[in-house]
Structure 1
């Protein structure tokens, strides 16, 4: 159980650090080869896909790499409270709308974890995030 708890904490800490640091290699080390990523942002920035689901580490890598190259997309604030919830198989935390520096995009990250790697990652967006997604999809910034 201690190994599972350590793996969950490692993912919680390193996922955030690698996204902030735009470290694609470190970020991809957290995902299983056949991982799934689901997010409305996928369909907003890759409308030709027809869905918000990516399958496999290569597609997930391409998605994050493109985002890392576009720092002015309005998604760059990443305040979180330090609270997360985990049961050994699933990890969840929030990027809340309200921060000490004002509003940010509000997200909830949910990750299924097996063998110390993310196998299924789902991102749920709040109203500020939805507004930002709508602007991205329409080309407004």
Structure 2
């Protein structure tokens, strides 16, 4: 049975893999038919092949994620975390303040990830 601790551990692994530029590690956390919305409300990215393409663009050595608060569990198969994402551009550093919500299957794989942020949640350094 999936536990709250399993969810929190998987979400921390997601952050760790991202910050180590470990694309394969990130993909190993996702179920084959997972759905990703980043940002939430945009066209869903469906399936591991499309998710690989998405992360292939952002796992690039120029982007890092930090938690703003502890990862939060739930009474179901989901968790949430408040993060900020910093990415270097040729002219500046962009900072996105994001809430990510992930849902998991019984084996602990991510079936859904939604990243909640809007234009007003982005700053330049």
Place the TM-score, normalised by the shorter chain, in its bin.
Answer: 0.7 to 0.9
Number of aligned positions between the proteins: 113
CA contact (8 A) 1:90 1:112 kept: yes
Which residue among 103, 111, 121 is the counterpart of 1:112? 103
TM-score, length-scaled by structure 2: 0.76
Deviation sequence 1:74-112 (CA, Å, 0-9, x none): xx2422134121124111010159xxxxx9310000001
* CA displacement at 1:53 relative to structure 2: 1.1
Structure 2: state its 5+ residue gaps: 86-93
**Match in the other structure for 1:14:** 13
Q: What TM-score, normalized to structure 1?
A: 0.68
Distance 1:77 1:29, change over 3 A: closer
Higher strand share: 2
1:57 aligns with 2:44: no
The aligned counterpart of 1:136 is none
> Gapped runs of 5+ residues in structure 1?
44-50, 98-102, 133-141
Between structures 1 and 2, the one with greater helix share: 1
